[in-house]
Amino acid sequence: MASPYLMWVAGEERPGRAELIPVEDPATGEIFALCHAASQEDVQDTVALAQAAFKSGVWSRESRHRRADVLDKAATLLEAELPQLIALEVRQTGRAIREMKAQVPSLVRWLKYYAALLRVEERPLLPTTGKLHNFVDRVPLGVVVQITPFNHPLLIAVKKLAPALAAGNSVIVKPSELTPLTTLKLGAILKAAGLPDGVFSVLPGYGALTGKALVQHPLVRKVDVTGGTEAGRAIGAIAGGNLARYTAELGGKAPLIVFASADLQLAVNGIAFGSFIASGQTCIASTRIIVDNKVLDTVLELLKTKTEFIAARMGAPANPESMMGPLISERQLGNVEALVNEAVSTGMANMVTGGKRMTGTSALDGTDFSKGYFYEPTVLIDSSPPNKNMQKTLLWHKEAFGPAIVVVGFDSEDEAVELANDSEFGLGAGIWTQDLSQAFRVSERIDAGITWVNTHHRNDPSSPWGGSKTSSGLGVENGVEAYQAYTTAKSTIINYASTEEALTTDDWFRGTPGAVRYG
């Protein structure tokens, strides 16, 4: 095993004073790397360095054109490192390399988008009454903390840090302890691009120690987290105590509605992608499939065939022909198993395909599934549709974060919408229909922050990404909204009236009667 990965603090690698983190390959169960972790003292030191960099103005008061140049350079340097980053991302997440080869190169779009935004952002001039010019600038907040999850380590880190750096903040990222390695690589890339020391740091560590110390620090002016709902509520309570700003992208239980007018093979392809990409470990995974009863049998047949096709082509994540990888950990595998078993053992759901941990040998490449955390792509159906049994299961209501989906039927558009909205979550949703009027009509009624029609999981730097219900979080990522969330509005009002006029109208306490202004 190579030397442990070091933290990235204020422009250099540094050892941490907390216990080393073992990093596991989810496909083999092997500990393949160790990573330094930040202690409370490390957090204090890093925040102090970040605050000093912010107060110095070396980045916070740098011209927007210079900041844009650095982000553009970072995009170019990131592209050059893609092969190494993809290989490491595959190893630590267990995700299939065919997924990572599609996802990781897209990261440069976020850096380029926010670089472009800096160059074209306009300063508003407000229509203030009187001889006044009132203009508004967006100024950075200060030190901001970003807590990222295990499922998309690089993607979510770059999605968050690009607008934060564009705005001029000092950024500290705490990656998931399960997948910290690729985020650490961003430090050297950003330094080489010209980012001043102190402006960007990466502190691996466990949430209860490193994460808590960061979030509760009084100098932290914003916390941005992607994670589970329970953790999001706990972090928000701490951040709120400091009156720090808070953005949270949390849980999801995305509905996907298939109407009778849809092209059914196209819809099934969309279900498979939305449900089984990243082994179902995404916040917008299409986990509740809601199908018009007129085409339910056909959809189930097509979906069963597609799901079994995927299962037969699972193997080593580094194999370009492998279609799906393992879950991230033994614990996550156990969570999925428990939810599926509860639905089946209570008689509420019937198994269509899948439903168990994989233990044999891959027909694709001989991978020993028993060493990793592989779970079959799984489809369940309501055991008694008239009784709506599926809606009584934990799997219908709780975020599984795994490749297990449920299918229910509906008879009317109203029923489909009711089923779709039957969740505490409201992050993503999908609609499959060839009826344009229906697409507009139903999308307006779906209670979700993001609704896709005849596609799924489209993600662009310009498109807001966030939930409509509190269990799915607060605020949004992406777009102008994310940039502005990393700033505060600074209003400047300049009186350009002549001295003579001001002496006449603005002397509140003059000795002679007469009208005076207010406001």
Distances (CA, A) of 257 to 57, 89, 262, 433: 51, 32, 10, 9
Contacts of residue 242, defined as CB under 8 A and 6 or more positions apart, other chains included, come to 216, 217, 218, 220
| Cβ 306 vs Cβ 296: under 8 Å | no
Active site residue 283: yes
Q: What is the pTM for the complete model shown?
A: 0.95
Which residue has tokens 């505060």? Answer: 488
For residue 88 the two structure tokens come to 């490491």
pLDDT in tens, 341-390: 999 999 999 999 999 999 999 999 999 999 999 999 999 999 999 889 99
| Cβ 234 vs Cβ 241: under 8 Å | no
Residue type, 401: F
| Cβ 374 vs Cβ 32: under 8 Å | no
Which residue has tokens 């709120």? Answer: 240
> Could you write out the three-class secondary structure of 114-182?
HHHHHHHCCCCEECCCCCEEEEEEEEECCEEEEECCCCCHHHHHHHHHHHHHHHCCEEEEECCCCCCHH
Mean pLDDT score across all residues of the chain: 96
pLDDT, residue 507, reads 81
Inform me whether the pLDDT recorded for 517 exceeds 80.
Answer: no
Inform me whether the pLDDT recorded for 296 exceeds 70.
Answer: yes
Task: Please pick, among 73, 112, 159, 160, the residue that the annotation labels catalytic.
Answer: 160
Inform me whether the pLDDT recorded for 72 exceeds 70.
Answer: yes
Task: Please pick, among 99, 177, 249, 337, the residue that the annotation labels catalytic.
Answer: 249
Quickly state the pLDDT bin for 469 (edges 50, 70, 90): very high
pLDDT, residue 518, reads 67
Q: Measured between alpha carbons, how far is 453 from 429 in angstroms, rounded to an integer?
A: 9
pLDDT, residue 195, reads 98
Inform me whether the pLDDT recorded for 511 exceeds 80.
Answer: no
pLDDT, residue 502, reads 85
Q: Measured between alpha carbons, how far is 505 from 470 in angstroms, rounded to an integer?
A: 50
DSSP letters, 198-230, are: TSEEE----IIIIIHHHHT-TTEEEEEEES-HH
pLDDT, residue 129, reads 85
DSSP letters, 364-424, are: TT--BGGGTT-B--EEEEES-GGGTGGGGSHHHHS---SSEEEEEEESSHHHHHHHHT-SS
Inform me whether the pLDDT recorded for 286 exceeds 70.
Answer: yes
pLDDT, residue 63, reads 96
pLDDT, residue 204, reads 98
Active site residue 477: yes
Which run of H or E residues covers position 308?
helix 296-311
Task: Please pick, among 99, 191, 283, 469, the residue that the annotation labels catalytic.
Answer: 283
- Nearest Cα to Cα of residue 261 among 417, 455, 433, 413: 433
**What would the mean pLDDT of 47-68 be, rounded to a whole number?**
98
Inform me whether the pLDDT recorded for 154 exceeds 70.
Answer: yes
pLDDT, residue 519, reads 61
